[in-house]
Amino acid sequence: MTSAKPLRVGMVGYAFMGAAHSHAWRTAPRFFDLALEPQLTAVAGRNPVGVRAAAAKLGWASAETDWRRLIERDDIDLIDICTPGNTHAEIAIAALEAGKHVLCEKPLANSVEEAERMTAAAEAAAKRGVFSMCGFSYRRTPALALAKRFVEQGRLGTIRHVRAQYLQDWLSDENAPMTWRLDKSKSGSGSLGDIGAHSIDAAQWITGQKITGVSALLETFVTERPLAGDLVGLGGHGDVGSDTARGSVTVDDAAVFSARFDGGPIGVFEATRYALGRKNAMRLELNGTKGSLAFDFEEMNVLSFYDGAESPDAGFRRIFVTEPEHPYAGNWWPTGHGLGYEHGFTHQVVDLMTAIAEKRQPEPSFADALQVQQVLAAIEESAANSSHWQKV
């Protein structure tokens, strides 16, 4: 590790994603051999007290109250954007133009237009050796990376069905408080962009195919929610009195859409935060002519695989994705000792640092994320047009 070149990181935002990213930067070099050594140089946030406390708690060497300061500082090589979507474009473009690598949380932006500008900036920067990546962290779940490997190995044959659900329930309670995630001006969309975007990216990445058209239905079940003080962050599960002031929910609570992929399969997607009892059920199933794969993030260390060639004694095989040969797994614990949610973020910065060190484009690029944004836009277009089929 002594020979590794430092990579000095400045992070913007320090709530849920900020904590996950901090852990990732801190932990990556302890389990992976890296050509770059991350340094937690500075964190930025508007609240002076909050950002200093976060710096101490999360292990950042300094704190700034304006993200522009991070970009001005000479001792920072990479800007890690963990803020709501409405701020992504401005920060990312400024950072790239200032010659700093960028890791930007998903969804890339709140509109296709923003995402296009970000992608243009990213492609211009890449020519100068400055790289960017969008944080679709589920790609770094070992089981989903193994799923992609299986598809690439042809173990599924021709894929016919894509079945994706992302089910949560933290809004099921009508009194769960208002949060920036429910304010379209900040988050861009609701379940669609927050969790549906993960399903879209994962499905396209694993199949190696793009969605060409969609038909969609969006629904908002609860249109007003109690305001509860500082709502930056995760959304919480607090109880509130009935006389609490209420804010308008301006995003979708649930998104349902069918899709076609350019390689033939049809897809059905559902994203919701109202599936009572489903906590983080990011599920994906692929059915091919030779095999099928199934995944549920609630059992994140398991990939289920059905090999049609084993018929009549075939069956879904629960692969515990903790073998040394499995993606990422060999750097952690012995077989059977599973990983948790935050490991995806650690793998994400490992992959990002490796690409930067090798001077090649990390994936998913901003262009990849722009295409997801275009799918999101097509979904909203279809939903607004009585579910009529909408080309992407």
Q: Applying CB under 8 A, which of residues 90, 299, 363, 381 lies at the interface with a copy of itself?
A: 299
- Cα angle 46-367-272, degrees, rounded to a multiple of 5: 65
CA distances from 202 to 17, 263, 302, 325, 328 (A): 19, 16, 16, 21, 17
Backbone φ and ψ for 337, nearest 5 degrees, come out as -105, 95
* Residue 66 or 310 having the CB closest to a copy of itself: 310
Residue from 66, 317, 360, 384 that binds a copy of itself (CB under 8 A)? 317
Span near a copy of itself by CB under 8 A; candidates 112-120, 198-206, 327-335, 366-374: 327-335
Smallest gap from residue 184 Cβ to a copy of itself (A):
20
Place of tokens 């400055």: 130
Smallest gap from residue 307 Cβ to a copy of itself (A): 8
Instruction: Report the candidate in 231, 226, 222 with the shortest Cα–Cα distance to residue 273.
Output: 222
Stretch that binds a copy of itself, among 78-86, 131-139, 178-186, 231-239 (CB under 8 A): 231-239
The answer to whether the beta carbons of residues 88 and 102 sit under 8 Å apart is no
Please identify, using beta-carbon distances, which residue of 57 and 360 lies nearer to a copy of itself.
57
Q: Which is nearer to a copy of itself, 52 or 69 (CB)?
A: 52
Exposed (0-12), middle (13-18) or buried (19+): which is 129, by Cβ within 10 Å?
Answer: exposed
- Select the residue interacting with a copy of itself from 152, 276, 358, 384 (CB under 8 A): 276
Type of residue numbered 326: H
Give the angle subtended at the CA of 131 by the CAs of 127 and 137, to the nearest 5°. Answer: 145
Residue with smaller CB distance to a copy of itself, 124 or 266: 266
Binding mask 9-48 for a copy of itself (x = CB under 8 A): -------x--xx-xx--xx--xx-----------------
Site for a copy of itself in 116-175 (CB under 8 A): 146, 160-161, 163, 165, 168-170, 172, 174
By CB under 8 A, tell whether 291 contacts a copy of itself.
yes
Question: Position of tokens 């091919």?
Answer: 288
Is position 5 an interface residue for a copy of itself (rule: CB under 8 A)? no
Which positions from 243 through 272 interact with a copy of itself, judged by CB under 8 A? 254, 256-258, 260, 264, 266, 268, 270, 272
Nearer to a copy of itself (CB atom), residue 119 or residue 207:
207
Is 386 a binder of a copy of itself (CB under 8 A)? yes
Residues 353-372 that bind a copy of itself (CB under 8 A): none
Question: Per rule CB under 8 A, is residue 341 in the interface with a copy of itself?
Answer: yes
100, 186, 326, 347: residue in contact with a copy of itself (rule CB under 8 A)? 326
Strand order in the sheet with 291-296: 302-307, 291-296, 281-288, 159-167, 266-272, 254-261, 211-219, 390-391
Contacting residues for 16 by C-beta, under 8 A, at least 6 apart = 233, 234
Q: Which is nearer to a copy of itself, 79 or 167 (by Cβ)?
A: 167
- The DSSP letter of residue 177 is P
Question: How is the beta sheet containing 36-44 ordered, strand by strand?
Answer: 62-64, 36-44, 5-12, 78-81, 101-105, 132-135
Least gap, CB of 222 to a copy of itself (angstroms): 10
Euclidean distance between CA atoms 299 and 193, whole angstroms: 23
Q: Is 61 in the site for a copy of itself (CB under 8 A)?
A: no
64 binds a copy of itself (CB under 8 A): no
DSSP 382: H
Q: Among residues 332 and 354, whose Cβ is nearest to a copy of itself?
A: 332
